[in-house]
Structure 1
Amino acid sequence: MNKKIQKTLLASLVLGATTLTFSSPSYANSILDAITKSNDRQTVSLAPMLEKVKPAVVSIEVEGKTKEQPMQPNLPDEFRFFFGDDFFGNRGERSHKFRGLGSGAIINAEKGYILTNNHVIDKAEKITVLLEDGRKFKAKLVGADPMSDVALIQVENPKNLTEIKFADSDKIRVGDFTVAIGNPFGLGQTVTSGIVSALGRSMGDLDKSYENYIQTDAAVNQGNSGGPLINLQGELIGVNTAIISPSGGNAGIAFAIPSNMAHNLINQIVEFGQVKRGMLGIKGGELNADLAKEFGVDAQQGAFVSEVLPNSAAEKAGIKAGDVIVKMNGKKIANFNEMRAKIATSGAGKEIELTYLRNNESKTVKVKLQSSDENAQIGSQDLLPELKGAKLSNHSEGSTKGVEVTEVAKGSMAELRGLEKGDIIIGVNRQAVKNVGELRKIIEKKPAVIALHILREDTNLFIIIQ
């Protein structure tokens, strides 16, 4: 191609009667790099880039069992307590085998690490990875984070693998080109393309997940989950995870977890074996025109701070209720959900930089994130149905550490079992418990007998649950 044509393409790319104009020379150069010669005419093709990336994309097959609870009478918990669980047929639960398909991307060829979605491998007892060249590997789960739907698996005896590089997802813009690669409907490796339709999207129950999705119109279907969303340089910008569709098929609205968010979580899983969430210690919501006017804020987007928790990282940094956080690490914050997801996935102990507006003045502070209290307050039925009606939270006042019973509903199972407001659970089956997370780990092992060691004022007692 001569230099005159190259200069023209830096400004625009002409395809027949259609002209695509680029605001960024880097994207024009990416298109230039994709141009190949075929039958003595120039043809735009992503094939050269895909030939390098496709070997890093895998199909994932899973097998496992799921339990199905039998139908039970709709009786109040008080009556269930007297009859006992066995009366309602809990011993009659049935196991059903399941098989599933998904996709993933190799992010470390030497160690055989593969990034995918948690929902792809959830409850899987057997994981098989299929490469583009036909090779199959057995894989094991390294770690997962259900609340962000990210998982890391590792193939056994990795050899001659190709890995994909991470891009900085904070740099992508609406209108950037995207390419999705995956295994839709088990057809085999499939490539689709589109653009970034929106950023900072959320869907579903935000109390149970951290969502800050990239929206794209690249075709994504069942089986694409966990597969990579890449840019024209062949770099990972996101992990395809969900779609919105009335029919269940592609409707041009797909969502991907940003690569920076996934990268942070995977690094924590590799280093700590789990995700250690960061906590800023604020409550808030979206900034709207009325709030901006009321608080004298000259901004259209950001995270409005309605409350700052005592002794939190935010309070120590000087953030106050009424402030509007507009940037994190120099990048604009579109809404509260985006900031919440970025902070939660940054990791406990990490230092971040926040820019906020107060009285229409901009201030920038550095904040060291604390450990998240996402497990600090939960309903006890999430741990034990027999204790339904109580709320539990971490207790760390003075030298006593444990799990405090902050609320007991009148007439509930928790009250019938003997729990009282103010009780502090300091141990289970002679194992010390310092927080909700430790209590959860012990109970998830499903011991035959659960003996809660309770500190009630100055009295030690045990509550036995069988």
Structure 2
Amino acid sequence: MKLFAVALIAGGATLGGYKLLEKDATVRLATSQTESPINYTPTNFSSTTPTTTIDFTVAAEATVNSVVHVINKTVSRQPTNMQEFLRGGGQPREMIGSGSGVIITPDGYIITNNHVIDGASQIEITLNNNSTYPAELIGTDPKTDIALVKIDTGTELPFITFSDSDTVKVGEWVLAVGNPFRLTSTVTAGIVSAKARDLDELDGNAQSFIQTDAAVNRGNSGGALVNTRGELIGINTAITSETGSYVGYSFAVPSNIARKVTEDIMEFGNVQRAILGISGGNLDTARAEYYGVNDTEGVYVGSVESGSGADRGGIKKGDVIKKLDGLAVAKFSDLTGYLGAKRPNDIVDVTIVRDGNEKTIPVTLIKLETLEIPDVGVEVRKANMADLQKYGLKHGVEITRALTEDVARYKMEGNIITQIDDYNIKDIDDVKKVLSNRKRTDPLKLTFVNKKGETHSFIFR
């Protein structure tokens, strides 16, 4: 089984930068999956106030018929000789993987994990009554590992309503509902072990999972994490394991994030990511002493992006973010998890501590526009005016992070790409246009200005 690291929206890049001085991550992330792939729409929020009498049968009966089995069929070519191996040919071979999904609307919209359907040439959905339907892929978001598919049954389907995952409490009883291996719905119980759990602190994209001890195994990816009333509080995504089997820890994408992603896919066709416009990191005793602050909890602001909402609102380097809209922020993933459910132009009340004084600042979030260039191995976003003026440039996109360890060695973050294949690049749309008009086998010429102001051109083959 391959290892899978889920990159959550509104991570380091979502904040306009990356986390500072993070400790080495020791958690190994193993996804729930069968065979080739491994193993999250809009309704009303409801309260998650604990009930006085806990009856798991209520939640189970309310959800089992809304959790489905997802079949992913992919076709690969198996080379039979060296010539086919070198040219990428060979005999076609069908591979089948599977996972779970959650019906979220009566007309057949289903949320699952991106890794469950990634690369699929055909997707099939089997309901709890064993009827099977072809599914249409509506959209995906690899950063949150969310995908949205749809089936048409001609009848209204049972569905699960979203709850407000921000109100979920540690220690609250939950059920994990999956549909693995066509066993029909399987239900396990546990409690919320932790919130805003970040499993890979060094990848530049802070995550914000709900952690639970409800058993989640292979094939459960994309299934539902629900409260005792059967309301959706998360989409089961991953487990930490050295063997690939459940060992007591499972993780779910919070329902607020899953809901926002699917609504964006429905409305815009892609995810509208919002950022404060700061970079920073967690605090502890050592870092508080290093930065000269008194707080050991919160997010230390290491820098503020010029022209961002944080900049216009008055947030400064050295501030410590303690709350967002009144919700406590103890660590970086608390902040990114909350922002992951927000959209550009939303206003967030940011409570900060500056020089020992607490202050609340309203900040209008701005849109994060990034694009991955797989052929080069970098992620880019539109360069801000301050950086362009610094290097005497009129246009360009900034490299925000490396996508592979090989590229990371060259420390390209902060370089400004001005041309691709000799075409001037003004923004992300220009990058998309150039890349869409070329064959993947063609060499790609990249012209950029580095942090010393030097212009270089590289050709990637």
- When normalised by structure 1's length, the TM-score is 0.72
CA shift for structure 1 position 449:
5.6
Task: Give the C-alpha shift of residue 266 in structure 1.
Answer: 1.3
The equivalent residue for 1:311 is 307
Of 265-274 and 282-291, more deviation after overlay is shown by 282-291
Question: Which is further off, 150-159 or 220-229?
Answer: 150-159
Asked if residue 98 in structure 1 is aligned to residue 86 in structure 2, the reply is: no
Q: Say which SS state the counterpart of residue 104 (structure 2) adopts.
A: strand
Contact kept, 8 Å, 1:228 with 1:238, in 2: the verdict is: yes
Q: Which whole-Å CA distance do the structure 1 matches of 2:95 and 2:205 have between them?
A: 25
Corresponding residue for 2:57? 47
Aligned to 1:29: 52
Alignment of 1:283-294 (within 5 A): 283-292=279-288
Q: Deviations over 1:118-149 (max 9, x none)?
A: 11111111111111122222111111110111
Distance 1:316 1:310 in 2: 8
* SS in structure 1 of the partner of residue 339 of structure 2: helix
Change (3 A) 1:270 1:422: closer
CA distance in 2, matches of 1:370, 1:422: 21
Moved more, 245-254 or 184-193: 184-193
> Are 1:219 and 2:215 counterparts?
yes
5+ residue gaps, structure 1: 1-23, 35-45, 73-85, 414-420, 457-461
CA contact (8 A) 1:392 1:406 kept: yes
* Cα deviation, residue 165, structure 1: 0.9
Partner of 1:5: none
Which secondary structure does the structure 2 equivalent of 1:27 belong to?
coil
Q: How does 1:216-365 map to 2 (within 5 A)?
A: 216-292=212-288, 299-365=295-361
Q: Structure 2: 5+ residue runs without aligned partners?
A: 1-46, 408-414, 450-456
Structure 2 CA distance for partners of 1:422 and 1:365, relative to 1, 3 Å: closer
With over 3 angstroms needed to count, the CA separation of the structure-2 counterparts of 1:391 and 1:231, relative to structure 1, is closer
Aligned residue-pair number: 390
1:167 maps to 2:176: no
Deviation at 1:69, TM superposition (A): 10
Please give the residue correspondences for 1:104-115 in structure 2 after superposition, counting only pairs within 5 Å: 104-110=101-107, 112-115=108-111
Summarize the Cα distance change of 1:404–1:132 in structure 2 as closer, same or farther, 3 Å threshold.
Answer: closer
Structure showing greater relative contact order (alpha-carbon pairs closer than 8 Å, 6 or more residues apart): 2
Quickly say closer, same or farther: Cα 1:192–1:276, change in 2 above 3 A: same
Counterpart-to-counterpart distance in 2, 1:225 and 1:126: 18
| Structure having the higher Rg | 1
Q: Percent identity?
A: 35
| Maintained 8 Å contact 1:281/1:312 | yes
Deviations 1:90-123 (CA, angstroms, capped at 9, x unpaired): 545886532111111111113x211111111111
Q: What's the CA shift for 1:237? A: 0.6
1:133 correspondence with 2:125: no
Tell whether 2:431 aligns with 1:439.
yes
C-alpha distance in 2 between matches for 1:294 and 1:63: 52
Which one of 386, 389, 394 corresponds to residue 382 of structure 2?
A: 394
Going from structure 1 to structure 2, the CA distance change for 1:383 and 1:119 (only over 3 Å counts) comes to closer
Answer 1 or 2: which has greater helix percent: 1
**How far 1:465 moved relative to its partner?**
8.7
Counterpart AA for 1:394: K
Which of 215-224 and 338-347 deviates more?
338-347
Q: What's the offset of the Cα at 1:164? A: 0.7
Task: Tell which deviates more after alignment, 145-154 or 96-105.
Answer: 96-105
Deviation at residue 217 of structure 1 after TM alignment: 0.4
1:384 aligned partner: 375
Amino acid at match of 1:100: G
Deviations 1:319-354 (A, max 9, x none): 111111111122111311331343255232322221
The amino acid across from 2:72 in the alignment is V
Matched residue, 1:370: 366
Check the 8 A contact 1:295/1:359 in 2, yes or no. Answer: no
Residues 301 and 125 of structure 1, relative CA distance in 2, 3 Å threshold: same
CA distance in 1, matches of 2:274, 2:203: 16
Q: Which deviations, in whole Å up to 9, do the C-alpha atoms of 1:154-189 show, x marking residues without a partner?
A: 113452201111111111111000100002344331
Distance 1:433 1:113, change over 3 A: farther
- 1:303-323: per-residue Cα shift (whole Å, max 9, x none)? 111122222221111111111
Aligned residue number for residue 10 of structure 1: none
Q: CA RMSD in A?
A: 3.9
Give the 3 Å change call, closer, same or farther, for CA 445–269 of structure 1 in structure 2: farther
Tell me the equivalent position of 1:38: none
- 425, 432, 444: which is aligned to 2:419? 425
Q: Is the 8 A contact 1:402 1:426 kept in 2?
A: no
TM-score (norm 2): 0.73
Structure 1's 179 and 120: CA in aligned 2 closer, same or farther, altered over 3 A? same
Partner SS state of residue 29, structure 1: coil
Distance 1:130 1:438, change over 3 A: farther
